[in-house]
Structure 1
Amino acid sequence: MSGHPRRLVLRHGKWWATEGVPAGRDRGGWGGSRVVARPLCRVKLFLDHRSRSEVVLLVGARTNGATPLVMAAKNGHIACVEYLVERCNADLEQVGSVVFDGETIDGAPPLWCAAAAGHLEVVSYLLARGANVNATTKTNSTPLRAACFDGHFDIVKYLVEHNSDIEVANRHGHTCLMIACYKGHYDIASYLIDIKADVNRKSVKGNTALHDCAESGSLDIMKLLIDHGAKMDVDSYGMTPLLAASVTGHTHIVEYLISRSDLVSTRDKIDALELLGATYVDKKRDMLGAYRFWKMAMNERYEDEMMVFPKPRQPSPIAAYENCIEVTTPQQLDEIISDPDEMRMQALLVRERILGPAHPDTSYYIRYRGAVYADTGNFDRCITLWMYALDMQQKILEPLSPMTQSSFVSFAELFSFMMNEAKNRDSQQDRVRRQVPIVNFCDMMRVFEKCMREVEVGMTQLSKAGGANGERDTTYFHRILVIMMHLICLLSKLGPALSELQRYTMRKAVFTLVKLNPRGTGGVTPLHLACSRDSSSTVGHFPICTFPSVEVVTLLLEVGADPTQCDNWGNSALHVLGSNKQCRREVVQVLLAAGAHLDALNHEGQSFASLRASRGQKLHQIVNPLQHTSLQCLAAAVLRKHSIPYATSVPPRLCQFVDQH
């Protein structure tokens, strides 16, 4: 529930809701490539004739991130494991990167790999040889937790019998009991409870094993936990296990918990039923089911035709919800059952009231409903809902939040899709492109301005961040700058159809960005990003804009971007162009016309010409160097070439110019 890496993805012209494993309920890694083990005969054939020093080097070497021992343990090749340990003296604690079900685990010891893959014989051998039973991956996942994840009960018992610590949690604070509950492994959960695992332990996000049962639908384990003293506590979002079950749509969990008056109050019961109804509308698309649960909640609110538990008064109608008001009487509820759109707006209102704006599902389902409208061609409703969700995210979430960035990407994908669809429609109908804005200019500018606000608060965040968080924030900030480049590209495509005032507004907004001088990873500027091929592939799943973009580069230069500005490695925008696989001549010419220098050198002594030469392209195939080389450039190159001291003899304003040559 909370922490799902979900997003809306535009594929083949339709919006799809993606859903993954919540943070902390995975094995603990991401990305990577497949690891393949070799049988013993081939390993011996490869190593037997080599010297001791060569064997040590090869046994410690990594292929696709994993050592031979790590690969052998993962694949259960006990003979290979024995040979590598006994004959080759392989380190039992050497770690590597391994892949399970498409997920890469970094820093995994051999014992962890064997436990995760279910190879008891390898596990017992490694422990007998002295492997650390509590060795962890980079995300602090133990071999015991790995065995609990996939339900290897025999390995769980063996590890516990050999002193594995059942309370070691991963970096998200999720214990072995929690993962067993989430994955629905009753036998493992029962065993861990019997040996006194803490049933009320909380994760970093504040959820307990009961929350994990509620989210996964494991009713039998939930009953077991309750019988052993588990409490109905709240997580960091204020969610009880009952509400968690309502959000995920596990009706049998909700029905069991609301039947336990010793565990939940009447008000809790009402909230759960109303939230479950909202889930039936948006997740299960079952209007009659939603009506049934809302009717049950309404009956709980009334006693002898008197409202005992009134709904909180809504401050004012919400325009994004078509000014709908939550129903408060059984008669009003009966009236809306025939209006599906009204039911959908009721679901959004209920979810926002009960979960609050800070909960990820609140903004997610607003965006989801907007995507459904977009799929039916109702783009105005979609944009209105997404704007409302974006406002909510920027008010509540921390700066540079991935969820906020996901909203910006969705907007960019939507605008790009609308523009392409309109272009295709025009070319098919009358073969003449209409000179009118394809997307509402005001909508696009509102998104751009909100993205600008994210850049500004992100720069403030970076100025006071440090350590690991600083590195993470730099990555997030770089991504928001790339998103900015795509929005600028889309705005530039509207250019010919804009009025003078609109064109001025757009250029002023881009000027504000350039004046801020934001720097991404490695000190890159917006102009660097506009010239980088990588900017095309680092945002979203639906193609938005292609970079390098002559339109974006031209616009940035026109509003004052400096073509000679360098990143941390001394690369100018021209160097970035030179590093691309393909080099667009028109972009080079625009940069040169604005004052970029062909002969400028980066910190490795590379010029644009040498970078293109490494790609098999000569300079004269792109531009005539004589037209873009000045006497000043030649003089600076001579000073550098002959190591002539110039710091005291050249005016200070020219020192930087000489340094670049």
Structure 2
Amino acid sequence: MLKQPLVEIFRALIKFCKSVYHVRHRSLRKIPFKTGSVLSNVFLELRGKDEVGQLVGAKTHGATPLVMACRNGHYDVAEYLIEKCDADIEQPGSVVFDGETIEGAPPLWCAAAAGHSALVKLLVRSGAQVNSTTKTNSTPLRAACFDGHYAIVQYLVQNGADIEVANRHGHTCLMIACYKGHIRIAKYLLAMNADANRKSVKGNTALHDCAESGSLEILKMLVEHGARMDVDSYGMTPLLAAAVTGHTHIVEHLIGMRHLVGRKERIDVLELLGATYVDKKRDMIGAMELWRRAMEERYSEVPIMPKPAPPPAVAAYDFAREITDPEALDELLADPDETRMQALVIRERILGPAHPDTSYYIRYRGAIYADAGKFGRCIELWNYALDMQRSILEPLNPMTQSSLFSFTELFSFMIGEEGRPTSRGRRVPPVERNELVRVFNKAVFEVKLGKQMLDKVPACERDLSFLNRVLVITLHLACLLTHKTPPPDTEAHRELHEAIYDLVRINAKGKQGRDALQLACSRDATVIARYRACEFPSPHLAKALITTGADVMARDADGNTALHLAALSHPCPPALAKTLLDAGAHLDAVNGEGKTFEMLLKDQTIYDVVEPLKYTTLACLAARVIRRTHKSPEVPRHLQAFVAMH
């Protein structure tokens, strides 16, 4: 352990190294620091070598003093730590750039990323490895390329940095320079024979990155160095990538290169760019011009290239069919809604359902309808996007999670604001129960598939984050369903409990091993707190889960039952505690820390919540006595579990 005085000195040094310093847009400046009068006394005259080693090697917030000094541009501090204190120049730490925490960043990476040339040279002279990496396999060279530190890029390459080392996503230094639009760096890397056709894990190249960022000058350089029009894992060429992002100048330049772009590619990109004009730029006139040019490409040359046979009309698109002749384009101008549907149909045909933008713009259009008070159109479009995602994505995919969560927010809003006028003057209609059940059933099936997928993974390797989120979202939908439980002996009542029974039967468990009932009783599970209809803990949802077979005595990883979690919710709703106790929960059951429901209450007494005598049985009292007076082996085996939980 560090001696107390040394700890205080360590804290003072850390505070100095962490001093606020905006390094990204300011030139390096020397900070006055008299090492002889301050640090010399601290490190050399008053402390032994072992203590100094402990001090410079210790971390606070995941970073050593050297890492902090390099991140914040304190040259004198770094120099002293290296030359006088023998600080490990390869010891990594955690640093923050642009709000993102970078794990496992060596000091050289920190200095290069922050643009501190003098520190970079100091570290390299001191023997730092120029190709050291962070946990995501990012090198100091890549860090310098990211923010355009040209002098550092040159210096690192001249001192042995490998320009082809890619990060965990397969993105090279050239790719990031192209994406960020750093022309000088891209030109330098190409001059150093960087591979212009290298592919990332998802198949994109530097040319894709140029097309997405809109840097025409870099794109021209890449083509001159032999860059090809390859496709990525979504089947996207750089040309289509430029159309998706709306970079018209990139599109126009590439379609003018007839040796690179064929006739079909020109037609597709003009149509796709038109769709982008509608949904991203809100430029209907510009979209019409692009679609008209595509029509001319189709029909003015021989052979004619008519559009492919249309797929079955989609209800979510209001049964819109793609325009196939130039005359019909003029009629679109009089019907903006039909134009928007054309954009969705065209995008789905060209990009396909697997591309994220296809479902994104369907959801986006649905949100616009919801803002305008057209909730039915929104729900139909979102269901179509959700079905598309579920058909092609793996279970628990973040895109599917996002769609389900959007439904939860929408339904919560509609129930909470029912009858009130929207910003557009329309009144919020009631949620149709069949629509809520429709989405809930899809969420339940997603939970089922997700659990089946995770069950195949060894327990030590499972990440329950995604399953936990989908389970919580599903429970919020169930909470909305049970907000107004239909009368017993009705078809709606039976349908509701059948749907919830399907969820309970899956027995999915999220983080901390909590099942559906335990999450429903925990305030921590709340993801939408604005409306009471889906507020957790939820007595009415807990009652429905218990009715369909949820186990009130099931325990999470900390030994908490649903009743314990209800007590931890602060305040504990009396109706919830009564529901759990009436279903067989034990008032005196202890959790993993030996605490009962009463012990976990905060700012409440047990009498504020329930009548304890009503839920205290002779069997429970006897179990308490036996636990205090008898050893476990003395208790009959069939009673041991009952006694142990009291």
TM over 0.5: yes
User: 2:388 matched to 1:387?
Assistant: no
CA contact (8 A) 1:437 1:498 kept: no
Picking from 9, 14, 18, the partner of 1:36 is 18
> CA offsets, 1:464-504, max 9 Å, x none?
13489x533x2111111100111011112233699922122
The alpha carbon displacement at 1:37 in A equals 3.2
Residue type of the partner of 2:244? V
The residue correspondences of 1:202-601 to structure 2 (distance < 5 A) are: 202-303=199-300, 308-422=304-418, 424=420, 438-466=430-458, 470-472=461-463, 474-495=464-485, 500-537=490-527, 545-601=534-590
Q: Which residue of 1 aligns with 2:14?
A: none
Output the CA distance in 2 between the equivalents of 1:347 and 1:46.
71
The residue correspondences of 1:122-133 to structure 2 (distance < 5 A) are: 122-133=119-130
Q: Which residue of 2 aligns with 1:602?
A: 591
The alpha carbon displacement at 1:56 in A equals 3.4
The alpha carbon displacement at 1:619 in A equals 4.0
Q: Which residue of 1 aligns with 2:613?
A: 626
Measured at CA, do residues 166 and 414 of structure 1 come closer, stay the same or move farther in structure 2, by a change above 3 Å? same
CA contact (8 A) 1:174 1:203 kept: yes
Number of residue-to-residue matches in the alignment: 612
Measured at CA, do residues 541 and 286 of structure 1 come closer, stay the same or move farther in structure 2, by a change above 3 Å? farther
The alpha carbon displacement at 1:540 in A equals 9.9
The alpha carbon displacement at 1:541 in A equals 9.8
Output the CA distance in 2 between the equivalents of 1:541 and 1:204.
40
Gaps of 5+ in 2: 1-16, 21-30
Residue identity over aligned pairs, in percent, reads 56
Measured at CA, do residues 108 and 543 of structure 1 come closer, stay the same or move farther in structure 2, by a change above 3 Å? farther
Tell me the TM-score normalized by structure 1: 0.87
Measured at CA, do residues 542 and 492 of structure 1 come closer, stay the same or move farther in structure 2, by a change above 3 Å? closer
Output the CA distance in 1 between the equivalents of 2:90 and 2:630.
52
The alpha carbon displacement at 1:51 in A equals 5.1
Measured at CA, do residues 632 and 53 of structure 1 come closer, stay the same or move farther in structure 2, by a change above 3 Å? farther
The alpha carbon displacement at 1:515 in A equals 1.8
Output the CA distance in 1 between the equivalents of 2:107 and 2:492.
62
CA contact (8 A) 2:454 2:462 kept: no
The alpha carbon displacement at 1:161 in A equals 1.2
CA contact (8 A) 1:37 1:68 kept: no
Output the CA distance in 2 between the equivalents of 1:226 and 1:424.
57
Q: Secondary structure at the match of 1:422?
A: coil
Residue type of the partner of 1:369? R
Measured at CA, do residues 130 and 541 of structure 1 come closer, stay the same or move farther in structure 2, by a change above 3 Å? farther
The alpha carbon displacement at 1:122 in A equals 0.8
Q: Secondary structure at the match of 2:103?
A: strand
Output the CA distance in 1 between the equivalents of 2:135 and 2:233.
25
Output the CA distance in 2 between the equivalents of 1:643 and 1:45.
65
Output the CA distance in 1 between the equivalents of 2:529 and 2:119.
42
User: 2:638 matched to 1:656?
Assistant: no
Output the CA distance in 1 between the equivalents of 2:339 and 2:76.
63
Residue type of the partner of 1:510? I
Q: Which residue of 2 aligns with 1:18?
A: none
CA contact (8 A) 2:418 2:429 kept: no
Output the CA distance in 1 between the equivalents of 2:113 and 2:532.
37
The alpha carbon displacement at 1:551 in A equals 1.9
Measured at CA, do residues 600 and 423 of structure 1 come closer, stay the same or move farther in structure 2, by a change above 3 Å? farther
Residue type of the partner of 1:471? R
> CA offsets, 1:301-321, max 9 Å, x none?
0136x7711111013211111
Q: Which residue of 2 aligns with 1:15?
A: none
CA contact (8 A) 1:37 1:72 kept: no
Deviates more, 1:572-581 or 1:640-649: 640-649
Output the CA distance in 1 between the equivalents of 2:533 and 2:75.
50
Q: Secondary structure at the match of 1:201?
A: coil
Q: Secondary structure at the match of 1:37?
A: coil
Bigger relative CO (Cα 8 Å, ≥ 6 apart): 1
Measured at CA, do residues 269 and 542 of structure 1 come closer, stay the same or move farther in structure 2, by a change above 3 Å? farther
> CA offsets, 1:413-434, max 9 Å, x none?
01111112216569xx9xxxx9
> CA offsets, 1:376-415, max 9 Å, x none?
0000010111111111111111111110010000001011
Residue type of the partner of 1:36? K
> CA offsets, 1:153-185, max 9 Å, x none?
011111111111111111111011000000000
Output the CA distance in 2 between the equivalents of 1:421 and 1:611.
35
User: 2:67 matched to 1:78?
Assistant: no
CA contact (8 A) 2:317 2:341 kept: yes
The alpha carbon displacement at 1:617 in A equals 5.2
Q: Which residue of 2 aligns with 1:181?
A: 178
Deviates more, 1:436-445 or 1:95-104: 436-445
Output the CA distance in 1 between the equivalents of 2:621 and 2:222.
79
Output the CA distance in 2 between the equivalents of 1:420 and 1:363.
27
Tell me the TM-score normalized by structure 2: 0.89
Residue type of the partner of 2:410? L
CA contact (8 A) 2:242 2:251 kept: yes
Gaps of 5+ in 1: 1-34
CA contact (8 A) 1:413 1:543 kept: no
Q: Secondary structure at the match of 1:97?
A: strand
Output the CA distance in 2 between the equivalents of 1:194 and 1:543.
62
Measured at CA, do residues 541 and 107 of structure 1 come closer, stay the same or move farther in structure 2, by a change above 3 Å? farther
Q: Secondary structure at the match of 1:98?
A: strand
Measured at CA, do residues 523 and 647 of structure 1 come closer, stay the same or move farther in structure 2, by a change above 3 Å? farther
Deviates more, 1:101-110 or 1:448-457: 101-110
The alpha carbon displacement at 1:620 in A equals 4.6
Q: CA RMSD in A?
A: 2.6
Measured at CA, do residues 91 and 546 of structure 1 come closer, stay the same or move farther in structure 2, by a change above 3 Å? farther
Q: Secondary structure at the match of 2:386?
A: helix
Measured at CA, do residues 515 and 343 of structure 1 come closer, stay the same or move farther in structure 2, by a change above 3 Å? same
